[in-house]
Each structure stands twice: as structure tokens, then as C-alpha cells.
Amino acid sequence: MTKLISKRSIKAGLPPGSLVHLGDNVPGRASITVINYDENDFKLNKANTAQECLSYIDPSMITWVNVDGVGDAEVIETIGRYFGLHPLLLEDVMNTDQRPKMEDYDDHLFIVVKMLLLGNGGRVVTDQVSFVLGERYIISFQERQSDLFNSVEARLNNNKWRIRKMGADYLVYSLIDVIVDNYFVILEKLGENIEVLETELVSSPKQEILRSIQTLKRDLIFLRKSVWPLREVVSGLERGESNLIAGTSRIYLRDVFDHTVHAIDTVETFRDMLSGMLDIYLSSASNRLNEVMKVLTIIATIFIPLTFIVGFYGMNFKYMPETQSVLGYPAVVLLMALVALGMVRYFRRKKWF
């Protein structure tokens, strides 16, 4: 389950730029991949330490440094020092409770987005991915190891794709595109859940449905927090003044922007639908109560007067002429039949059944 808020309080009072990992995941060793590529060549190295990683960087090619795991302050710091990154930027990389945002540091752009993954139990899990885009390099920091970027790696490895001929800005676009495309995997999953719930709601409305609706609503609240600010981030990249983004890349960013808006639309539609389902649920619950009450009322109302009558002739008065007459018994039975029939007709006319 996504936590409501992560422990930021341990940082209160520390000077700005203090590199402390804030997030759910235990800080551990980071795993680093360095890719150098240009139109003709592609080199991939895995590094165990930050120092080793730096040695793999080939300034004559475009470099992509991918860091999986942001809990190791030393790694972050070493890389940061090498590329001349601001301490606040590094702090934001390690603090995985950031809002998606884009910041322009003139000679590099800092981009924070949220990757959405399906955790166990079908709950949505958010992972923070930060990008630093320089002129000929890009650094990506992932909160956790994930295989989402493998497809981009594969495309880089194959020189038939456009990606090898274009700059670092196109690479960052490709990575964001992969992340946003993955949103739709999550949204489809949620959409399926909603449709299942809708069908269940019609066939047998139970209390558990309410809880499922609430769980979906909560997931959507967290999705919104990731998707809404992303819109501004991508729009900022597309329309921004940074010359790190080439004109040819902007047309692709516009496409990502469309997808983001589409994702937002879908989230809002889901929210509307869940509200509608809640209304249906609540009203069918109260409907069932009505029906139950009606049955009770009809049965009680028919039998109460009859029970009174039989009680009446169960009284032990010595002088009670009806009980002595031979006709008394059949007359009373007839009377009760008439009362019952009258009741039934009354309820029929009132359309109670």
C-alpha cells in the first residue's frame, strides 16, 4: 500500500542540501549502468562504484548514466560533483517523496517524474525517477531496480532506430515516453477492476464492493498526484526556452503531452464513474432495506389483527355468548378470512406487492 506520507520529519532542522535518503525503501547499494553511444557505436558497462562508473564515461559520445537505487549518498555525491550538480538537486534525487517537476539549471535540466508499477495485491506503487539532461549526457536515477528502460536500451543497441542518430534530448524523451506509456498499463488494470465491480454491483451488491470502490478511489488519488504535475513538466519541456531541447524533439514531447492529458482525462473519468457507483451502491442498499421492511410490514399487518381476534376468543369469561353458539367458530373463521383478504387488497391497491 502506498503510504500516505513518508517520513520527512527526520530532515527538519538539517541544513539544506543534506544528502539523507527519504523514502520507503531501505538505502542500499546502487547499481550503475553506463552507456556511451553515437550513430556508429554503442558501449554498455556495469559499474560497482561511483569511481568506476566515471571511468567509463566517453566524452566523445553521448553518455547515459543510469543509477538504480538512490539510497547511497556517496554514489550520488560523487556523480554530482563530476557533473557539477547543485546540492539541492542531489537532495531532491535522494528524497523520493518529490512532486514531479522540471527545473532549469541553465547548462542542465533537472526532471523528476513518477513511475507507476503494479505491486503485489494489485495495488499501485509509485517509484521516483529523476533525470539530469546535459548537452551530451543524461543521468537517470531510479528509486528501485525496474526493467522498464530495457526496451530503450535495446533500441539504442540497434543502429536501425532513429534514437542512435539523435541527441540526449531525444533519449530523455524516449525514457519519459516509456514511463507515460506504462501509465496506461496501470489505467487499463484499474479500468478492468472498475468494470468488474460494475458488473458485480448489478448482480449482487455486497459490503465488500464498497471497500473495493474506496480502495480504487485511494489509488486514483495517488495517481492524480503523479499525473497532474507531470502535465506541467512535459509542457514546460516542450514550450521551455532551454536550448538543450532541439526543435525536432519538441514535436515528440508534444506527443507525450497529449498522452499525459489523455491519462488525466482517464483518471478523472474513473473518479466520476466511481462516484456514480457509490451512489448506485448506497441506493441499492437502502432499496433492499425498503423491501425487507415491506415484507415485515405486510406480514405483521395481516397477522396482527388476526392474532387479536383469536386472542379475543381465547378470553376465559364465563358469560361470553359467542363461544357457546355452534355458529361461533365458523363465523369467526369467516371474519378472519375477510379481514385478511381486505388487508391484502388494500396493499395491492397501494402497489406494495
Q: Could you say which of 51, 157, 243, 297 contacts its own copies (CB under 8 A)?
A: 297
Q: Judged by CB, which is closer to its own copies: 51, or 287?
A: 287
Q: Which stretch binds its own copies (CB under 8 A): 50-58, 61-69, 127-135, 179-187?
A: 179-187
Q: Binders of its own copies among 188-207, rule CB under 8 A?
A: 188, 191, 194-195, 202, 204, 207
Distance CA 145, CA 341 (A): 76
Smallest distance from the beta carbon of 57 to its own copies, in angstroms? Answer: 26
Q: Judged by CB, which is closer to its own copies: 25, or 335?
A: 335
Q: Binders of its own copies among 212-231, rule CB under 8 A?
A: 214, 217-218, 221-222, 225
Distance CA 122, CA 129 (A): 21
- Residues in binding contact with its own copies, number by CB under 8 A: 112
* One-letter amino acid for residue 230 of the chain: L
Q: Which stretch binds its own copies (CB under 8 A): 70-78, 127-135, 238-246, 250-258?
A: 250-258
- Dihedral (CA of 299, 300, 306, 311) sign: positive
**Counting contacts by CB under 8 A, is residue 59 touching its own copies?**
no
**Burial readout 274-285 (b: 16 or more C-beta within 10 A, e: otherwise):** beebbebbeeee
Distance CA 284, CA 256 (A): 42
Phi, psi of 108 (to 5 degrees): -155, 155
**Counting contacts by CB under 8 A, is residue 250 touching its own copies?**
no
Q: Which stretch binds its own copies (CB under 8 A): 31-39, 71-79, 83-91, 124-132?
A: 83-91
CB-CB contact of 241 with 247 (8 Å) = no
**Counting contacts by CB under 8 A, is residue 235 touching its own copies?**
no
**Counting contacts by CB under 8 A, is residue 162 touching its own copies?**
yes
Q: Could you say which of 20, 310, 338, 341 contacts its own copies (CB under 8 A)?
A: 310
**Counting contacts by CB under 8 A, is residue 174 touching its own copies?**
yes
